[in-house]
């Protein structure tokens, strides 16, 4: 079962970022990232609350410099 309802991934200033919207606690999201082999690719993970009018939690991930878009195919399985 997916834990993330929306995923945005983009590059900015030569860095790769993703924003995830979910209704699960952060620890469950981290566990899922770990199970998919993605947690070790994250440099930082921060909560964000810019557009939470529809509920849920938002997390922004800055990926490590060595991470490429193709490395993030498993994000779709979140």
> What confidence score (pLDDT) does residue 47 get?
87
Task: Going from the first residue of the chain to its last (78 residues), give the mean pLDDT of each consecutive group of 10, the final group possibly shorter.
Answer: 88 95 88 95 87 72 95 90
pLDDT score of 78: 86
Q: In sequence order, what are the residues at sequence separation of 6 or more whose Cβ sits closer than 8 angstroms to the Cβ of residue 54?
A: none
Which residue has tokens 């939470």? 52
Q: How far apart are CA 30 and CA 53, in angstroms?
A: 23
């Amino acid at each position: 079962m997916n834990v993330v309802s929306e995923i945005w991934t983009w590059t900015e200033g030569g860095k790769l970022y993703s924003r995830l919207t979910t209704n699960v606690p952060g620890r469950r999201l981290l566990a899922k990232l770990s199970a998919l082999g993605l947690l070790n690719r994250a440099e930082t993970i921060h909560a964000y609350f810019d557009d939470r009018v529809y509920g849920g939690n938002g997390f922004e991930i800055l990926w490590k410099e060595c991470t490429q878009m193709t490395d993030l195919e498993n994000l779709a399985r979140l």
